[in-house]
Amino acid sequence: MPNPRILNRKLHRWGAIATALPFLLVIVTGLLLQLKKQLAWVQPPEQRTANTVPSLSMEQILRAAQSVPEAAVTDWRDIDRLDVRPAKGIVKVTANNRWEVQVDLGTGAVLQAAYRRSDLIEQLHDGSWFADAAKLWVFLPSGVVVLGLWITGLYLFVLPFLARAQKRQRES
């Protein structure tokens, strides 16, 4: 039977190599997502108005989104979602092409239009950008291996302390 200490080191080393690229992607995208409210490049900052009671019709929201050429909205099929923020007085219209149009809930005025990268970064983070199978067959196993690396890394950290304690106990 192989020495458990040597086996642990080998598992730790090969696990780190096997998960290097997927885990690097998870770390980098996770850091960007942590900062999405601070980095306008990742997610456009939310505007604010005094109109906290929504008074727009769905047709007015659609017309506002259509007024932004970059969003390429011609009808409702071009819109991925609406995010209504009454406390901020806005509705965020996210187009299928990832452009976000922020519309004043009271006047229908376009407050801001910008490209939104946070959804793409989230898809890269969980692996779904590659394919749904990548989430289960690459990123999930990588996560399990990284958990194993954490456990074996703790063991490798504690091992010298245990060895010194055993040595002191034998000497006394």
Residue 6 lies in a domain: no
Give every CB contact of residue 8 below 8 A, 6+ residues apart in sequence. 152, 155, 156
Rounded distance between C-alpha atoms, residue 29 and residue 45, angstroms = 19
Same domain flag for 139 and 103: no
- The pLDDT assigned to 172 comes to 84
pLDDT bucket at 32, cuts 50 / 70 / 90: very high
- The pLDDT assigned to 59 comes to 97
Residue 1 lies in a domain: no
Output DSSP code: residue 47: P
Please count the structural domains in the chain: 2
Q: Which domain holds residue 112?
A: 44-116
Residue 4 lies in a domain: no
Same domain flag for 62 and 99: yes
Q: Which residue reads 């019709």 in tokens?
A: 57
Mean of all residue pLDDT scores within the chain:
93
Q: What is the DSSP annotation of 64-125?
A: HHHT-GGG--SSGGGEEEEEEETTTTEEEEEETTSEEEEEETTT--EEEEEE--HHHHHHHH
Residue 168 lies in a domain: no
Output DSSP code: residue 46: P
Same domain flag for 129 and 107: no
Handedness of CA 94, 40, 102, 34 (dihedral sign): positive
22 closest CA partner among 140, 131, 132, 151: 140
Same domain flag for 88 and 27: no
Read off the pLDDT of each residue in 65-93 and give the average, rounded to a whole number: 97
* CA triple 147-26-46, angle to 5 deg: 130
Same domain flag for 90 and 142: no
- The pLDDT assigned to 107 comes to 95
Read off the pLDDT of each residue in 112-139 and give the average, rounded to a whole number: 94
Same domain flag for 136 and 110: no
Rounded distance between C-alpha atoms, residue 11 and residue 161, angstroms = 21
Rounded distance between C-alpha atoms, residue 138 and residue 148, angstroms = 15
pLDDT > 70 in the chain, percent: 100
Residue 169 lies in a domain: no
CATH code for the domain in which residue 68 is found: 3.10.450
In single-letter form, the type of residue at position 92 comes to K
Same domain flag for 60 and 71: yes
